[in-house]
Amino acid sequence: MISCQYSNGNISRLASLTSAFLVISGCAALDPELFSDSRRMAVGAGTPVPVAGETQAVGTTRADAADDPEIWVDPRDPSRGVILGTDKQAGLYVYGFDGAVRAFIPDGRLNNVDLRGGFPTPQGERVLVAASDRGRMGAALYLLNPDTLELTPWGLVPLDLTEPYGLCMGRRAHTGDYVVIVNSTDGQVRQVRVSADTQGRVVTHEERRFGLATQVEGCVVDDARGRLYIGEEARGVWQFDLNAPDEGRLVAEAPSAMLVPDVEGLTLLHDGTESFLIASSQGDSAFAVWRADGPELAYLGRFSPAAANGVDGVTGTDGVAALGGQVGPFPAGLVVMQDDVDAEGEEASTRRARQNYKLVDWREVRRALGF
């Protein structure tokens, strides 16, 4: 084994790595993505909520691998559905609500994933899935068959970004257009409309491009209100108009009592007439929550998934997804988040062996934060 001293931002780590991670030039050429951005804090700083379950770990071990999840539930039968999760060194997983792996697509360096249902194709409606693809420099597209739950590759949206990193999707309420938003590690953002032609081939049209000053990743679209939220990792959460060019505005600042950098995953949960924005506060293993259905965000508090039901808690939060209403065995909604160290009892200083996704019952979040 070889020990190398690394610095990622202002966090220094001493890592012991097997030769599988070494290249010709040795330590200096190790991929920084093998190291998590987080400090892997042992206990989250938010109000504790119990973990309800977990997925199987991603296949890549001893590396920063699991990143971003997404949830789909069959609107015809909410007991049916899947959880998607990226292994950003290897590809895309499809999990059941029991956490078991249903399928894996070995598509390489996929970072963030999102989806929208009801996508029209010549073969019938499908669920359109998109994932930022750092290997092929674009957004990888997939189609999920709602009848069979089979996920198949569909195409690629090539993008002129330094490194396709964060990704989210939206569907316009007034036109039904499907939009994919991809951002880069240098703060640049691309917004692309996606459709299928009569032969079932991918059709794309770039709608706009803009950027923020520093690294971004997490993003989410509020379809009904036409809002796009983007997380600038060291500064906070921005809000943009999805349907018209604008300069955006900073709606939740970091560092603050709400968010400790890095600001990572963003997701929205719609619970009846209420909507909630959830953001990963990676710096202290917590999740901030706001009401998001009014003209301004209304801060509600922070929670941290804690060990329960024989499952370890969440440390070093990254991607997060949420869905309201019945989601399989969760009667009022589900929140899924990346866990940086999937091992019961590991200390904060212990190098991870594996990563996975944890499942939290939305009712427990509401109960813990009192809303």
What residue ranges do the domains of the chain occupy? 1-35, 36-369
Give the chain's mean pLDDT.
89
Q: What is the pLDDT of residue 62?
A: 85
Q: With bands split at pLDDT 50, 70 and 90, how would you rate the model's confidence at 203?
A: very high
What is the mean predicted confidence (pLDDT) over 87-101?
98
Q: Is the pLDDT of residue 250 over 60?
A: yes
Q: Is the pLDDT of residue 291 over 60?
A: yes
Q: With bands split at pLDDT 50, 70 and 90, how would you rate the model's confidence at 18?
A: very low
Residues 92 and 69: their CA atoms lie apart, in Å, by: 10
Are 181 and 114 in contact, with CB atoms under 8 Å apart? no
Q: Is the pLDDT of residue 312 over 70?
A: yes
DSSP label of 262: P
Distances (CA, A) of 10 to 114, 235, 271: 30, 15, 38
pTM: 0.90
Q: What is the pLDDT of residue 115?
A: 99
List the one residue out of 319, 231, 273, 270 whose CA is nearest residue 240: 231
What is the mean predicted confidence (pLDDT) over 29-42?
56
Phi, psi of 326 (to 5 degrees): -65, 130
Distances (CA, A) of 52 to 115, 262, 363: 24, 25, 11
* Phi-psi category of residue 368: left, alpha or beta, with phi > 0 → left and psi -120 to 50 → alpha: alpha
Q: Is the pLDDT of residue 79 over 50?
A: yes
Matching CATH number, 36-369, of 2.120.10.30, 1.20.1090.10, 3.30.750.24, 3.10.110.10: 2.120.10.30
What is the mean predicted confidence (pLDDT) over 143-167?
98
Q: With bands split at pLDDT 50, 70 and 90, how would you rate the model's confidence at 317?
A: confident
Report the residue count for the chain: 371
Q: What is the pLDDT of residue 9?
A: 34
Q: Is the pLDDT of residue 150 over 90?
A: yes
Distances (CA, A) of 23 to 17, 18, 29: 12, 11, 7
Q: Is residue 362 helix, strand or coil?
A: helix
Residue 104, strand partner residues = 93
Beta-carbon contacts of 3 under 8 Å, excluding residues fewer than 6 positions away, are: 14, 15, 16
What is the mean predicted confidence (pLDDT) over 239-249?
94
Sole residue written with tokens 């309800």? 52
Are 109 and 133 in contact, with CB atoms under 8 Å apart? yes
Q: Is residue 260 helix, strand or coil?
A: coil
Q: How many CA atoms lie within 13 A of 159 on its CB side?
A: 35
Q: In this structure, what token pair is assigned to residue 37?
A: 């951005």
Q: Is the pLDDT of residue 346 over 80?
A: no
Q: With bands split at pLDDT 50, 70 and 90, how would you rate the model's confidence at 36?
A: low
Q: What percent of the chain has pLDDT over 90?
A: 81
Are 327 and 334 in contact, with CB atoms under 8 Å apart? yes
Distances (CA, A) of 166 to 113, 148, 190, 369: 8, 28, 11, 28
Q: What percent of the chain has pLDDT over 70?
A: 86
Q: What is the pLDDT of residue 68?
A: 98
Residues 116 and 171: their CA atoms lie apart, in Å, by: 7
Q: Is the pLDDT of residue 307 over 70?
A: yes
List the one residue out of 168, 232, 172, 243 whose CA is nearest residue 207: 243
Q: With bands split at pLDDT 50, 70 and 90, how would you rate the model's confidence at 350?
A: low
Q: What is the pLDDT of residue 240?
A: 98
Q: With bands split at pLDDT 50, 70 and 90, how would you rate the model's confidence at 353?
A: confident
Provide the edge-to-edge strand list for the sheet that holds 356-361.
53-54, 356-361, 333-339, 320-324
